[in-house]
Structure 1
Amino acid sequence: MTPAELSRTVQHAVRRAVDAGEIEEAEGVWGRVVVAPPRPGGFGDYATNAALQIASALGRPAPEIARLLRGRLLASEGVAEVRVTGPGFLNIALDGGSRERSLVTVVARDGARYGHGDELADTDLVLRAAEDDLRAQVFADAVVRLVQAQGARARRSSTEGLAPRTAPPTPVVRDPYALLGEDALHWALLSAAAHDRPVLDPGTLLAQRAENPLFLVRYAHSRARRLVGNARELGFGPEAGESGAEGAGLVRVLGEWPSVLRLAARRRAPERVARELVLVAGAFFDFHDRCGGVLPLGGHKPLAAHRARLALAEAAGTVLAGGLSLLGVSAPEFV
């Protein structure tokens, strides 16, 4: 179950409680339900303050509303456990298999547009970047892509609009494209926060080793793509299912991707996308190592678990490709 689907599940629980006369109809009850990962040390996969919002609108105790919604949510498909914490937060644990199956299905359906939405549909944005300010141009282009992915109308201009404040890179070189190439240059300029000074060091940015974040991300994408190709040669393909406990970390990170894109667009912070891509790549390799390889070994026939693992690996590759595209960085199949 994705965060968007869980939000709808909570809304449906509220609707059922209203229909049953447990909660009164009132203005403010039908606002957008927001779910987010719980704070460190918290319970479950997601938490929501929906009960507190409803209680405020109705003038009723939040713990009472939370307990009513808990019962409704426990009857919802894909929900394993719900706990009421603090002043009335609902902490929700999802059924692992259901969550993974739904997530992989959504990523396969949406492709590189997974995580795109309409949250900024009412936004018009023009970013100004001088023709002689390379970092401002690259930064503005990335922000335009990010906010457009959330429904905004946006463009870059050299003469009008809002001028983002970006620190110049260090060291300043005469022809950074010739030194680094477009991919490494864009990564360097965008993976640093706007107020930080990126370092254009070819020894780091072009290194073919895991310590180089750009290489790690692109290699993870390449590895995921090759797994799908190798499976095809063995006569089977990806199929959404349950990959087991080994995939839990990767499922969690991929499920957070839409909220990362929304936050990066709202705050005009492409470095958040770069940082999350590194997390996805790390989670992918951890998943691959924990399950002892995605594909069957020794000539054994593929099982349902192998198909599910392959589907999860393919989803990771899709997210990595989509994120790199938003940063203006290519995602080659072979690295």
Structure 2
Amino acid sequence: MTPSDLADAVLRAVREAVDAGELSVTPPAAVAVERPKQKEHGDYATNIALQLAKPAGRPPRQVAELIAARLRPTPGIAEVDIAGPGFLNVRLEAAAAGVAARRIVEAGAEYGRNDSLAGQRVNLEFVSANPTGPLHLGHVRWAAVGDCLGRLLDASGAAVTREFYVNDAGAQMDKFGASIRARALGEEPPEGGYLGAYVNDLAREVLAARPDILELPEDEQSAAFREEGYKAQLAEQQRTLESFRTHFDVWFSERTLHAGGGVEKAIATLREQGHVYDSEGAVFLRTTDFGDDKDRVLVKSDGSMTYFAADCAYYLDKRGRGFDRLVYMLGADHHGYVNRLRAIAACAGDDPETTVEVLIGQFVKVVQGGEELKLSKRAGNVVTLEDVVDLAGVDAVRYALARSSTDSTLVLDIDLLTKQANDNPVFYVQYAHARISGVLRNARDLGIERGDAESFDPSLLSHEREADLLGALGEFPRVVATSAELREAHRVARYLEALAGTYHRFYDACRVLPMGDEEPTDLNRARLWLCEATRVVLANGLALLGVNAPERM
């Protein structure tokens, strides 16, 4: 019996009590069951009686007893006790708990997937770096966490589109082109231009692709360098992210908003909503009506469009594509965008509480040998994503970024991330998967098969450590659903670390394979089912984090 099965059983008991006239309440849509912190409180607990007591107009313990009476006859349930003010503590029969191992193995890669967010169309925008240089440390966190959240949303039933907004319009692109041209001519970039060895690399790449470029009229050269450099730099960003296992479904060009008239259409739409006004030759959006600190300029007095105008057009474009939830993942220096984005939604006639969600990620720094790294050989004044991966590897970096709440500043200690020891979290979890894979290989070498589902006897998994492991495995779908709903990928990582520890304790206490010339027993085979179930969950969890599950280490 899985936690989901038990939750369904509790809900049936509530509905039966309502149908029998014992409770005068509207049954809830779902019931939450959790693993109690203290083992003596049983395998699972629920506070459903406390939730229903007030609407039922009855004491919580009385409601709990009505539910418990109908829950106790459920097959697989050994005991139902009432604790404290009205908690229901449930203890399962060993066979009912052990069945979870078979279900997990049979589900395989699908185990953990759920429908908690089914029906939601989510646009998840993250990284969105300017295509004017390498991805740097400021982008690393969202490259990892954003991709993990996309995987979690998908696993929880949402229709999610991962989107990268390419900021390829505006003055910074002209400076970019002028900087590449200057390097191609052996000159220094203009004031405010782009520095770093990568600009030299781009200049050489552009000259190789367009050997005629310096023959163009001077006023056309910078534009040509800009376009060729833009294509090369964007392609490199795409390669870098894919090698970091960060995939985007859509690469949305800011230019298309301007070229297709999207910005003008957006301003017209917002004007129809009554929130656009003209003042001193400029056009403004009255965002102060919706919590912004000042009204925002859409069109300057010289007739040029602002970045904010493109932001408005981009929001309306996303909504026009049918997304009902727009998630923006921004850096710690973008707090000011929160109210602006919410104001855009409100001015467009939407409810910002339901359509706009802004996640802010705090800064990351890299430490090696006790010293903070601040410079890159290639980018000059920043540490790049590739620098970090070269130092520690994709698995270690992705896991380290995913396992910490984005609300806190993060220090990546390269010495720890490259250490093969239990105090390195990614090693600890990956080693658990490799250890189980080794056990399963040894079993095959000995000619021991776990057998088919019909021969599996779940009641044999009655040891305390087996119960602990089965309980932990049963929590995985709930962890996935909660992580997706709260946008907290670190919950998956912390769960995997706890699961790895639970498995190691099981393995130390329960012999999986027979000793010497001993004949394999049904208990050995049942424990192989449990080992395989644990391996499946570890692999599935690591996949959600974009981290490999090695079979050997």
TM-score (norm 1): 0.91
One-letter code of the match for 1:144? G
Change (3 A) 1:247 1:39: closer
The answer to whether the aligner puts 1:251 opposite 2:257 as a matched pair is no
Residue 150 of structure 1: how far off its partner (Å): 0.6
- 1:74-93 to 2 correspondence within 5 Å? 74-93=72-91
Q: Is the 8 A contact 1:66 1:88 kept in 2?
A: yes
Aligned residue in 2 for 1:104: 101
CA distance in 1, matches of 2:469, 2:493: 17
CA distance in 2, matches of 1:261, 1:323: 8
One-letter code of the match for 1:166? G
SS in 2 for 1:155: strand
The answer to whether the aligner puts 1:162 opposite 2:328 as a matched pair is yes
CA distance in 1, matches of 2:457, 2:407: 42
- 1:117-266 to 2 correspondence within 5 Å? 117-128=114-125, 129-131=127-129, 132=135, 133-159=139-165, 161-163=327-329, 164-171=359-366, 173-174=383-384, 175-238=387-450, 239=456, 241=458, 242-243=460-461, 244-266=463-485
Q: Is the 8 A contact 1:22 1:68 kept in 2?
A: no
Aligned residue in 2 for 1:7: 7
CA distance in 2, matches of 1:236, 1:25: 56
Of 497, 518, 527, 1:309 maps to: 527
Residue 210 of structure 1: how far off its partner (Å): 1.8
Residue 80 of structure 1: how far off its partner (Å): 1.5
One-letter code of the match for 1:162? Y
CA distance in 2, matches of 1:119, 1:91: 25
Residue 271 of structure 1: how far off its partner (Å): 1.0
For structure 1, list consecutive stretches of 5 or more residues without a partner in the other structure. none
Q: Is the 8 A contact 1:208 1:215 kept in 2?
A: yes
Q: Is the 8 A contact 1:240 1:312 kept in 2?
A: no
Change (3 A) 1:141 1:192: same
One-letter code of the match for 2:36? P
SS in 1 for 2:410: coil
Residue 39 of structure 1: how far off its partner (Å): 5.0
SS in 1 for 2:475: helix
Percent of aligned pairs sharing the same letter: 38
For structure 2, list consecutive stretches of 5 or more residues without a partner in the other structure. 130-134, 166-313, 315-326, 330-358, 367-372, 374-382, 451-455
CA distance in 2, matches of 1:134, 1:89: 44
* Stretches (4+) displaced over 6 A: none
CA distance in 2, matches of 1:274, 1:54: 34
Deviations 1:49-103 (A, max 9, x none): 223344444433332222122122221111121112233221111123321x221
CA distance in 1, matches of 2:53, 2:361: 43
CA distance in 2, matches of 1:91, 1:204: 41
- 1:260-299 to 2 correspondence within 5 Å? 260-291=479-510, 293-299=511-517
Q: Is the 8 A contact 2:429 2:500 kept in 1?
A: yes
Q: Is the 8 A contact 2:80 2:89 kept in 1?
A: yes
Deviations 1:118-160 (A, max 9, x none): 1111333223222341221221111111111111122322226
Deviates more, 1:299-308 or 1:228-237: 228-237
Residue 167 of structure 1: how far off its partner (Å): 2.1
**Greater fraction of residues in strand:** 2
SS in 1 for 2:90: strand
Aligned residue in 1 for 2:205: none
TM-score (norm 2): 0.57
Q: Is the 8 A contact 1:83 1:92 kept in 2?
A: yes
Aligned residue in 2 for 1:320: 538
Of 91, 94, 106, 2:92 maps to: 94
CA distance in 2, matches of 1:30, 1:200: 44
Of 32, 35, 38, 2:33 maps to: 35
